[in-house]
């Protein structure tokens, strides 16, 4: 087999959607699993909607996911340029070739005429495809339309034959020609249509495998016809099943976050999102679920892609993200969560300042934003429980005795670590006669505002004795004021 060349070709008209990210991932992993090349091509011929800002954001998202391209707009190779807006002369040349060979023609039909005739065909129970009205116009008819000010599109002639192609997942797929009709390859403004520019680029860039979502299956026969018209070899097609929401409908905004940027901003790790997306409609022989990129590349087999649609399970993604968080070193995790701490307004300057805090929260956090939320009490100057259950515990008379004794014992000790803390708690129990939950819970709530959370021994070591005393005394003042 020739060297594998795959491509991801986003349109810069918005954010990188989760479905498109999965497509990019499949192309990347497959190319790397075969020692091939991964090409990034920007399809920006929709001049009204394409923006440089969107392109940059998409590229940033791909880099964040770890999908580094071998050739692209910012990494030129011998097949460039890699933006379609910079390849217009190439498309013009190939469109002219089809016109000269009689395989394409100018069409002067207006949008209104096309819609009217389409509606009429549908009412008669006929296919909605274009009826070929302008196929055999004379030069006089063309000139007359031009004098009217009509600007023609270029249509490709679809001959009377069925179009078949082989999909590596779905097998042989056939389309009757009357479902396709003579399709537009160049707009009236000279800009190429998707199927035309896509086929030309895939050939010239020597793409061997076209991996994309199965919503593109209906585009494939048009591209196959163009390949045949030019006498080009047809690449292998792999159409991956679509991604559905939990309700079984196509993934959309109503299901929550749908872009890579949204998941990044919510504190998901790139390796977790890559891991999760890779397992949507694919699985390794081993059955393993937690996989890093090198493991994905080593185990990837395109034949194991499912025929069925995949369901995007947000809860499973959160679980998987939590596993990846727990697998990080405290140093790495501290660096990654730092921006989320800063965004929350915590007074932190570098990762080293929060490493011990991160270690206490690592086992319980599913996202980086969760970790930042759960870390709030570490930076508070005053803590008072908000939940009724915790308030009721603090309002118990024996809780006040425990906290007063605790503050006194801590103030009188010279050393401070987790072992000293445990000794003091024993002494508090002995002095107050309070044991078990009634002993430990008031201290936990006084220091964290919560009845559950990280180990108290970790919290007190991070706080130090002065802060422990300060927080307990502040809560006691508030408690007595409530009295």
Q: At CA 322, angle to CA 319 and CA 326, rounded to 5?
A: 145
With beta carbons less than 8 A apart as the criterion, state whether 189 and 206 touch.
no
Least Cα distance to 325 among 315, 334, 313, 314 occurs for: 334
C-alpha 455/C-alpha 244 separation (Å) is: 40
Catalytic residue flag (residue 349) = no
Q: What is the dihedral of CA 50, 53, 54, 58, to 10 degrees?
A: 140
Distances 451 to 331, 403, 427 between C-alpha atoms, Å = 28, 15, 22
Q: Comparing C-alpha atoms, which of 187, 108, 114 is closest to residue 140?
A: 108
Alpha carbon distance 336, 296 (integer Å):
23
Query: Residue 453 phi/psi, 5° resolution?
Result: 155, -160
Active-site hit among 123, 253, 303, 349 = 253
CB 357 within 8 A of CB 451: no
Residue 372, Cα to own-chain centre: how many angstroms? 21
Strands 153-156 vs 184-186: parallel, antiparallel or unpaired: antiparallel
Of 414, 406, 416, 427, the C-alpha closest to 461 is 416
Beta bridge partners of 238: 211
In this structure, are residues 4 and 208 in contact, taking their beta carbons and an 8 Å threshold? yes
The rounded distance, in Å, linking the Cα atoms of 123 and 267 is 52
* Residues with catalytic function: 253
């Amino acid at each position: 087999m020739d060297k594998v060349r795959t491509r991801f070709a986003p349109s810069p008209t918005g954010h990188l959607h989760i479905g498109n990210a999965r497509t990019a991932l499949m192309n990347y992993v497959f190319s790397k699993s075969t020692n091939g090349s991964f090409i990034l091509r920007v399809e920006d011929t929709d001049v009204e909607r394409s923006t440089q800002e969107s392109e940059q954001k998409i590229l940033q998202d791909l880099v964040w996911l770890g999908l580094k391209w071998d050739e692209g707009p910012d990494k030129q190779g011998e097949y460039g340029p890699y933006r379609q807006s910079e390849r217009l002369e190439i498309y013009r040349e190939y469109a002219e070739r089809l016109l000269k060979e009689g395989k394409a023609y100018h069409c002067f039909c207006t949008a209104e005429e096309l819609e009217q005739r389409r509606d009429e065909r549908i009412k008669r129970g006929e296919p909605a495809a274009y009826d070929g009205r302008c196929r055999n116009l004379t030069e006089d008819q063309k000139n007359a339309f031009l004098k009217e000010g009509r600007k023609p599109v270029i249509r490709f002639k679809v001959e009377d034959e069925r179009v078949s192609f082989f999909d590596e997942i779905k097998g042989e797929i056939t389309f009757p020609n009357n479902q396709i009709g003579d399709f537009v390859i160049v707009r009236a403004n000279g800009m190429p249509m998707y199927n035309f520019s896509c086929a030309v680029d895939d050939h010239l860039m020597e793409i061997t495998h076209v991996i994309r979502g199965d919503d593109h299956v209906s585009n494939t026969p048009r591209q196959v016809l163009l390949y045949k018209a030019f006498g080009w070899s047809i690449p292998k097609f792999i159409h991956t099943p679509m991604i559905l929401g939990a309700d079984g409908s196509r993934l959309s905004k109503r299901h929550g976050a749908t872009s890579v940027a949204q998941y990044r901003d919510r504190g998901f790790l790139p390796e977790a999102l890559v891991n999760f997306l890779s397992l949507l409609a694919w699985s390794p022989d081993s059955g393993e679920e937690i996989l890093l990129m090198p493991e994905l590349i080593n185990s990837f087999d395109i034949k194991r892609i499912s025929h069925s649609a995949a369901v995007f399970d947000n809860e499973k993604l959160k679980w998987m993200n939590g596993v990846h968080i727990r697998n990080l070193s405290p140093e790495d995790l501290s660096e990654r969560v730092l921006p989320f701490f800063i965004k929350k307004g915590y007074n932190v300057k570098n990762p080293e300042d929060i490493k011990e805090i991160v270690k206490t929260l690592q086992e319980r956090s599913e996202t980086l934003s969760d970790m930042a939320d759960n870390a709030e009490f570490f930076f508070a100057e005053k803590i008072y429980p908000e939940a009724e259950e915790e308030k009721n515990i603090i309002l118990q008379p024996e809780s006040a005795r425990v906290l007063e004794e605790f503050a006194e014992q801590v103030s009188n000790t010279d050393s401070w670590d987790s072992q000293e803390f445990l000794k003091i708690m024993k002494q508090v129990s002995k002095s107050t006669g309070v044991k078990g939950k009634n002993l430990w819970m008031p201290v936990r709530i006084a220091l964290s505002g919560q009845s559950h959370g990280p180990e108290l021994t970790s919290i007190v070591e991070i706080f130090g004795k002065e802060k422990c005393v300060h927080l307990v005394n502040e809560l006691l003042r508030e408690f007595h004021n409530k009295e």
